Every structure is written in structure tokens, then in C-alpha cells.
Chains A and B, each alone.
Chain A
Amino acid sequence: MIEIRNIKKSFDDKEILKGISGEFHKGKTNLIIGASGTGKSVLLKNIVGLIAPTEGEVLYDNRNFTTGDNQLITEVRREIGMLFQGSALFDSMTVEQNVMFPLNVLTKMPMDEKLERVNFCLERVSLQNANKLMPSEISGGMMKRVGIARAIVNNPNYLFCDEPNSGLDPQTSIRIDNLIKEITDEYQITTVVVTHDMNSVMEIGENIMFLYKGHKIWEGDNESILHADVEELNDFVFANKMMRRIKKTMKS
């Protein structure tokens, strides 16, 4: 479980996060949602330690990541897998080398075991024949899947996904969402997904945190989100025509 306590973050004089607390549960897909510019990605970067919070703490299974020493930070980070918005694959490496990278640097595993693990992960994301391709030769959806394979290759306890569906078509988006959900259930890891995609919210949102102007103003699941009595949340959820129709149907 990951716990965040009163996270505040300012850039110069501008306060982006205004004291956010909450818990992300093990074995669940935890979503951070909100409109663009509400601080979702900043919160995620604070949680994984890419940005230091101005105030507040992040605890990974009761280990204080914010105040911990370098050894603890490295230890926790080696239990983290992350899928970046732009996939962040290393351009100069093949798909196989990208997925193998964490094993090469962080473990002393023999080559045959590493290859076996890489092939298993690539198969898990349905990319069994892509080993020798370069990132420039594959599509956006495939890049995301390679990113997921790289994130899970080291058997992480925590999986973070920053806008996993950005730039993807609806079908591929659902495929990526389902993959994230399946991996979370299968390995019983703590997954945190930052998104503003309502399809993702409805598809995999087991524990949802809604941010608005740097505050957390609602928390719940994908069932209760449709009945929430929060104006800002309703504006966000029912922003498109299809969702408004669903609301209308629900009311009638």
C-alpha cells in the first residue's frame, strides 16, 4: 500500500498541490483523475520521487520515502515499475534490450534467464515477435506495451502509469487498460494510474481520486462516480455527450 500525507508542491510562488492525502491499495487499480493542469502528473512525480514535495510525506508499505536515506530510496525505487506518457523507451536499444535493461543494470541474472524473463514479459503484453525491432519501427500502442513489459520485468511491487492512453485509439486504449488491470490482479501489486480518460475510469477504476485545482475533492470507485454529488466532478465526468446521455438514461 502507498500512503500520501498532506502533499504540497509549489513552483516558485505558484502552489500546484495544496495538501493531498490518500491511500493507494494493494491489488487494486488506483486512479488519479482530473482535468488538465490540476496537478495529476506533478502528484505522480512526487510519489515516485522525481520531484521532492514542498511539504508532506509518501510512505511505501510504511517506509517513509520522503525522509528516507539514499539506501531506502534506491531500495524502494527498485520495487517500482513505471510506464511513462511517451513510453520513454531508449531510442538506441531494440525492444528486447529495452525490456532487459533493468535486469542488466540491477541484477546479476545469467543471460539465458534474462532472455527467458524478457520473452515471458513480451508474451504477456502480446509482443512475442517484436524482440529485434527498434522503438522507431513500432506503433504508439506497441510502444506502450513495451513500456509495460519493461515496467514489470523486475517483478515490481508498485506500478505507476502516467496517461497510459494518451495518443491511442479507443480500442488500443481499452486493450492497454485491461492489460494494466490484469497485471495488477495477477501479481497483486499496487497500481497507480494518472488519466483523464473517462473510458479508463469506467473500465478499471477501483479506487479513484479526483483532483481539482490542486485539491483532492472526491474519492470513490467507478460505480459511485456516476452518482457523486460534487459539481466539479460531475462537470468532468459528464463533459461529453455520451456520458450526459448515460446520466439521462440513469435518471429516467
Chain B
Amino acid sequence: MKSIGKYFIFLGNLIIRRESFRTYIGLFFEECIKIGYNSVFIVTIVATFMGAVTTIQTAYNLISPLIPDYVISLVVRDMTILELAPTIMAIVFAGKVGSNIAGELGTMRITEQVDALEVMGINATSYLVLPKVLASMVTYPMLVVLAGFLSIYGGYLTSLLTGIITGYDYIYGIRFEFIPFNVTFALIKAFVFAFLVASISAYKGFYTRGGALEVGQASTSAVTNSCIAILCADYILAKLLLG
């Protein structure tokens, strides 16, 4: 409970006693590149294979002649948009970006760089963490959109390469009874998950005490806690918005 309270105080510190807008603008774009652009490669690989594997496994389970082939791509589409792109990517995001944020801030803390900022009269929490949180919330939904497209495209490529279903059936299934709200739901999840990953990881890194060993522990703890928070938030959002 003490940690949760401290986390909320930490979040409060992000918005009080901020520096001028121009101080953050450069930092924000730097973080967008570090967090968003530098994650494109891993997202591309994971999303494409995710779609390909989902297509093969769905086809493997739907062997009844009563079920039309286009159902395979319909299932791939809905799984991708509702769960795989926002949630599984969030776990990958926590592993890559979360551990990086915690490690960076933890190292800054133990080498007194955070203290140096505080002594200069700069709100270190806001200066160091706010650009990371905002950059995550802006770039992660873009990564989710990219992951969605690539996952579905990965499924399409697999269907063509393996002949599980025809290209025409795959496209038909993708368009069949499409619910636009699912995309909105995926983007809402993306915003929430991005905030959770960035803020939890920053919190873990910011309050690191000790040396190199503790920085490593903070990074591990950041990823673990982010994943738990993502799964809890996933359930709550599904219940609130779809249930």
C-alpha cells in the first residue's frame, strides 16, 4: 500500500512545478525517437510472425466443413485488433522500453545526476519522467496500429504461401462484419498501457537505491510490475467497455 501511495505522489510530482514548455519540447521529440522509432523493428518482427502463426493455428482448429474459410481471417482480425496488437505488444514494449527507462533513471539516481538536477532547482521527476510518459502515450498507439496492420498482413502472406485459404477468402473475412469500435477500443488500451509501462518503469528507476545490482533489480521489477498492471488493466477495460 505504501508503494502504491508513493507511486501516486510520484505521478502528482510530474505535473506540479514544471519547467517551461520549451524545455520539454526537445526532450519529448528525443524520447519519441528513443521509445517509438527505435521500437519499430521489434514490433515489425513480432507482429508479422504473430499474425502468421495465428492464421495457421486458427486454420488448424477450424477443420469442420460447415465453417467457411473466411472465418479464419475474421478470427485473426478480431484477435489482432482486440488483444494481440495492443496487449501482447504492450508486454514486448514493457520488456524493451520499460527496462530501458528503469535502467536509465536508476543509473542517473545512483550516480547523483538526479540530485544534481534537484539542487539546480529543477523538478527532476517532471524533467526526466514527463517527456518519457508523454512520448510513450503518443508513440505506442502508433506502434499498435502498425502492429495491427502487419499482423493481419502476416496472416495474409501465410495464407498465400501455405494455401490454407485463398487470398480472396482472407480479404473477405477481414472485411466481414467489421466493428469500427474495436479499433477505438484497441487505441484506448494502447494509451492506458503506454502510460502504465512508462510511469511504473520510471517510478521503479527513479527510486533506485544502492549500486549496479539494484539498477538491474529495478529494471526486472519494472518489467514484472508493468506486465501485471497491463494484464489487470486489460481485464478492467474489457469489462468496462465490452462487458
Question: A-side interface residues toward B, CB under 8 Å?
Answer: 48-50, 70, 73-78, 80, 82, 84-86, 88-91, 101-102, 104-106, 154, 160
B17 near A: Cβ within 8 Å? yes
CB distance from A116 to the nearest CB of B (A): 20
Q: Is the CB of A77 within 8 A of B119?
A: yes
Q: Is the CB of A90 within 8 A of B121?
A: no
Q: Is the CB of B119 within 8 A of A106?
A: no
With A80-B119, A106-B120 as known contacts, state yes or no: A74 contacts B17, CB within 8 Å.
Answer: yes
B30 nearest in chain A by CB position: A92
B116 near A: Cβ within 8 Å? yes
- In the bound assembly, the distance between CA atoms of A85 and B112 in angstroms comes to 9
A77 nearest in chain B by CB position: B121
Residue from B111, B112, B113, B120 in contact with A77 in the complex, judged by beta carbons closer than 8 Å: B120
- In the bound assembly, the distance between CA atoms of A80 and B23 in angstroms comes to 20
- In the bound assembly, the distance between CA atoms of A86 and B112 in angstroms comes to 7
Residue from A74, A84, A104 in contact with B115 in the complex, judged by beta carbons closer than 8 Å: A84
B113 nearest in chain A by CB position: A88
- In the bound assembly, the distance between CA atoms of A137 and B195 in angstroms comes to 36
- In the bound assembly, the distance between CA atoms of A88 and B111 in angstroms comes to 6
When distances are taken between beta carbons in the complex, the residues of chain B under 8 Å from A77 are 118-121
- In the bound assembly, the distance between CA atoms of A180 and B23 in angstroms comes to 31
CB distance from B183 to the nearest CB of A (A): 37
When distances are taken between beta carbons in the complex, the residues of chain B under 8 Å from A75 are 121
Q: Is the CB of A106 within 8 A of B17?
A: no
Q: List CB contacts (< 8 Å) of B6-24 with chain A.
A: 17, 19, 23
Q: Is the CB of B116 within 8 A of A88?
A: yes
B122 near A: Cβ within 8 Å? yes
When distances are taken between beta carbons in the complex, the residues of chain B under 8 Å from A49 are 118-119
When distances are taken between beta carbons in the complex, the residues of chain A under 8 Å from B120 are 77-78, 80, 101-102, 105-106, 154
Q: Is the CB of A106 within 8 A of B111?
A: no
When distances are taken between beta carbons in the complex, the residues of chain A under 8 Å from B122 are 105-106
- In the bound assembly, the distance between CA atoms of A217 and B118 in angstroms comes to 31
When distances are taken between beta carbons in the complex, the residues of chain B under 8 Å from A91 are 107, 111, 113
When distances are taken between beta carbons in the complex, the residues of chain B under 8 Å from A88 are 111-113, 115-116
CB distance from A60 to the nearest CB of B (A): 13
With A48-B119, A78-B120, A78-B121 as known contacts, state yes or no: A105 contacts B19, CB within 8 Å.
Answer: yes
- In the bound assembly, the distance between CA atoms of A88 and B119 in angstroms comes to 12
With A77-B120, A78-B121, A105-B122 as known contacts, state yes or no: A90 contacts B17, CB within 8 Å.
Answer: no
Q: List CB contacts (< 8 Å) of B90-111 with chain A.
A: 107, 111
Q: Is the CB of B111 within 8 A of A86?
A: yes
| B17, B19, B118, B120, most chain A CB atoms within 10 A | B120
When distances are taken between beta carbons in the complex, the residues of chain B under 8 Å from A48 are 119
Q: List CB contacts (< 8 Å) of B125-144 with chain A.
A: 127
CB distance from B220 to the nearest CB of A (A): 22
- In the bound assembly, the distance between CA atoms of A50 and B120 in angstroms comes to 11
CB distance from A77 to the nearest CB of B (A): 3
With A70-B17, A90-B113, A105-B23 as known contacts, state yes or no: A82 contacts B119, CB within 8 Å.
Answer: yes
- In the bound assembly, the distance between CA atoms of A105 and B24 in angstroms comes to 10
Q: List CB contacts (< 8 Å) of B30-61 with chain A.
A: none
CB distance from A184 to the nearest CB of B (A): 18
B120 nearest in chain A by CB position: A102
A73 nearest in chain B by CB position: B121
B26 nearest in chain A by CB position: A104
CB distance from B218 to the nearest CB of A (A): 17
The 3 closest A-B pairs by CB, nearest first: A77-B121, A88-B112, A88-B116
Residue from B23, B112, B127 in contact with A84 in the complex, judged by beta carbons closer than 8 Å: B112
| A48, A50, A105, A154, most chain B CB atoms within 10 A | A105
When distances are taken between beta carbons in the complex, the residues of chain A under 8 Å from B115 are 50, 84, 88
When distances are taken between beta carbons in the complex, the residues of chain B under 8 Å from A84 are 112, 115-116
18 A-B interface contacts by CB (under 8 A):
A48-B119, A49-B119, A50-B115, A77-B120, A80-B119, A80-B120, A80-B121, A82-B116, A84-B116, A88-B115, A101-B120, A104-B23, A105-B19, A105-B120, A105-B122, A105-B127, A106-B121, A154-B120
Q: Is the CB of B119 within 8 A of A50?
A: yes
